[in-house]
A and B are shown apart, each in its own frame.
Chain A
Amino acid sequence: MTNSPRAKAFMLGVHVVAVAVGIYLGIRVFDFFT
């Protein structure tokens, strides 16, 4: 993967989605075990 702006923007989007998914799953995991 090159260092092009398109690749960086794609990875920035991946990070934002990963954080959103992590928060959602974290809440679900906590609710499941408590």
Chain B
Amino acid sequence: MCTSVGLIVFVIALTSLFLAMRAVMGIGGSCATGGPYVVANQCPRGVGWIAPVSIWVGLGAAFVYAIFVRLLPGPKWVSLMWPALFLSLGWNFMEFGLAGDASSGDVIGWLVCGVVFIIMGGAPLWFVLGNAELRRWTFWGDAVGRAPDRAVRSTIRDALDESPVVARRRGRGVTDGDGARRKGSSRSDVVDDLERLAALHRAGDLDARQFEAAKQLLLERHGQR
């Protein structure tokens, strides 16, 4: 809930900032309201406060989102927020800069700002999308935190409790489905346990790190590596 609200509020703030910037650039790129002086460019109604307020609201929403999204499985778009901010505002600079009078100093300044903003937003995005681990974390990451980890530990414990290797180590008899004592080498038991862990990994109950940890634990309990 906090995650969704944080993301929605962030996007509202970013959209408002994007539109406020376009409104100001549409009247020449600068404006003012009130004060003792004659104002050449009056700000459109509301724009004067929407831009600064949306920045701070967006920062707060991003903070809330970043805290709570860690606890949930799936996408974690914290790393996309910075690129979204700079690429959207850079788009405005480039659009108005390319559409304006090329001899104007303002327009050249907008194009320079556009290039800088696109680099500032595009470089981190390029880095995130180019790194397999970061890309996975951004779009298909695992939940972290106490509650999910407890659930995973419970899953591992259940799997090991059902393991014939662990049962034999504890001195209990192991039987198959019809009650007959289970036969076969300990190596095949280990393979069965590893297959059970691999099935949990495939089902998504264990991520790669947890699967490796569980596998090591199983092999250590069996006394071989």
Q: A28 to B73: give the CA distance in the assembly, Å.
A: 31
Determine whether the beta carbon of A2 is less than 8 Å from that of B151.
yes
Interface residues on A, range: 20 to 34
Q: Quick one: which of B72, B204, B207 contacts A11, CB cutoff 8 A?
A: B72
Q: Is the CB of B46 within 8 A of A27?
A: no
Q: Residue B218 at the A interface, CB < 8 A?
A: no
Decide: B74 and A10 in contact? CB cutoff 8 A.
Answer: yes
B14 nearest in chain A by CB position: A26
Q: A18-B4, A34-B45 are in contact. Are A4 and B50 (CB under 8 A)?
A: no
B207 contact set on A, CB distance < 8 A: 3
Q: Are B46 and A34 in contact (CB under 8 A)?
A: yes
Chain B nearest CB: distance from A29 CB in Å? 6
Residues of A whose CB lies within 8 Å of any CB of B are 1-12, 14-15, 18-19, 21-23, 25-27, 29-30, 33-34
* Further contacts, 19 of them, CB under 8 A, given A1-B72, A2-B151, A8-B73: A2-B73, A2-B152, A2-B204, A3-B142, A3-B143, A3-B206, A4-B203, A7-B73, A11-B72, A11-B74, A15-B7, A18-B4, A19-B7, A22-B12, A22-B15, A26-B12, A26-B18, A27-B15, A29-B12
